[in-house]
């Protein structure tokens, strides 16, 4: 009696089965991998010196391009700014100096900027807010406080090492509040603390009693500071511009960066550059 056998598979059939098994196992074990998460951004190193701060990557190229007119390194050296100080900047607006000062002070010091609204939503501070959001390592320790209007206290009395203001005094004059500002500066500075002022400088014949042309008499600012209790330490010509004739139809705003006349005589005003500026250093005397 013959024994029944299962039908045998040919060599080719066996090969197809084996290859099929291998392929199915291979597909199961080699599913497309999910893309890896993007690498975390590399933190920028915080500057340790003024020179590093002025040349750091925290600054925008747009702002660096204006160093030729504003001389930030020489100006801040003149005001004796150090990385371990508490420095208050009055009305930083778009944050031109904030890009230098906040990173410099982030490790050992304290940067304080005064703004119109504590949440930085004011239109004047839009660029500043964008920079803060983009540079948390440099700005997380920075403080922004409302100042002016109903609040004339910058902080605890005798708590700051430096108060700095860049091209703001004419605005206070138009609001008839300049005396209030200088009084507040004196109160917040430590004895021996320094007030640094940069302002558009009026000529001898410039009419600038209310600041409406942007230019201010140097003597007027010195007198304001002295009446508030300050002593003039020094003047500097760091930010002087002898090309500035100070007799323009739209005042200082005729010149760059504003160029209020648009294309009219644009090349002429670009050739003049930014305004002629006084740079004044005052000290809050130490009482003996």
**What is the pTM (predicted TM-score) of this model?**
0.84
Residue 259 has a CB neighbour count (10 Å cut-off) of: 16
Highest mean pLDDT among 30-44, 107-121, 171-185: 171-185
Cis peptide before 190 (omega within 30 of 0): no
CATH number at residue 99: 3.40.50.150
Question: Is residue 132 in a domain?
Answer: yes
101: left (phi over 0), alpha (psi -120 to 50) or beta: alpha
61, two tokens: 């190229």
Question: Is residue 228 in a domain?
Answer: yes
Please say if the pLDDT value at position 26 is more than 60.
no
The Cα 116–Cα 132 span in angstroms is: 16
Residue 83 to residues 107, 235, 282: CA-CA distances in angstroms? 8, 23, 20
Question: Is residue 14 in a domain?
Answer: no
pLDDT of residue 204: 80
Please say if the pLDDT value at position 118 is more than 70.
no
Question: Is residue 211 in a domain?
Answer: yes
Residues ≥6 apart with Cβ < 8 Å to 19? none
The Cα 161–Cα 58 span in angstroms is: 23
Please say if the pLDDT value at position 136 is more than 60.
yes
Question: Is residue 17 in a domain?
Answer: no
Mind listing the pLDDT tens digit for each residue in 86-101? 999 999 999 999 999 9
Say whether 110 sits in a helix, a strand or coil: strand
37, two tokens: 């998460």
Question: Is residue 158 in a domain?
Answer: yes
Dihedral through CA 145, CA 122, CA 228, CA 153, nearest 10? -30
Mean pLDDT (whole number) for 40-65: 91
Question: Is residue 77 in a domain?
Answer: yes
Say whether 30 sits in a helix, a strand or coil: coil
Domain of residue 211 covers 50-283
> How many domains does one find in the chain?
1
Question: Is residue 133 in a domain?
Answer: yes
């Amino acid at each position: 009696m013959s024994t029944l056998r299962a039908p045998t598979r040919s060599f080719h059939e066996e090969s197809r089965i084996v290859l099929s098994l291998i392929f199915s196992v291979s597909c199961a074990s080699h599913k497309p991998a999910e893309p890896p998460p993007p690498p975390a951004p590399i933190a920028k190193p915080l500057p340790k010196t003024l020179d590093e701060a002025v040349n750091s990557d925290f600054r925008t190229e747009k702002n660096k391009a204006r160093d030729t007119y504003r001389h930030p390194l020489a100006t801040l050296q003149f005001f004796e700014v150090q990385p371990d100080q508490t420095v208050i900047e009055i009305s930083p607006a778009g944050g031109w100096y904030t890009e230098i000062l906040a990173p410099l002070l982030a490790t050992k010091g304290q940067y304080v900027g005064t703004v119109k609204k504590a949440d930085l939503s004011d239109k004047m501070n839009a660029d500043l807010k964008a920079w803060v959001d983009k540079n948390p390592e440099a700005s997380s320790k920075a403080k922004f406080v409302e100042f002016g209007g109903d609040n004339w206290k910058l902080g605890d009395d005798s708590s700051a090492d430096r108060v700095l203001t860049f091209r703001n005094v004419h605005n206070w004059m138009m609001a008839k509040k300049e005396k209030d500002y200088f009084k507040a500066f004196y109160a917040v500075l430590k004895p021996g603390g320094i007030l640094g002022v940069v302002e558009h400088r009026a000529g001898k014949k410039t009419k600038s009693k209310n600041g409406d042309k942007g230019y201010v008499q140097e003597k007027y600012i010195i007198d304001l500071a002295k009446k508030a209790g300050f002593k003039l330490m020094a003047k500097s010509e760091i930010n002087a511009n002898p090309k500035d004739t100070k007799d323009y139809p739209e005042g200082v705003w005729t010149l760059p960066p504003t160029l209020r006349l648009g294309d009219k005589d644009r090349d002429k005003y670009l050739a003049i550059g930014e305004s002629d500026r006084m740079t004044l250093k005052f000290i809050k005397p130490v009482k003996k």
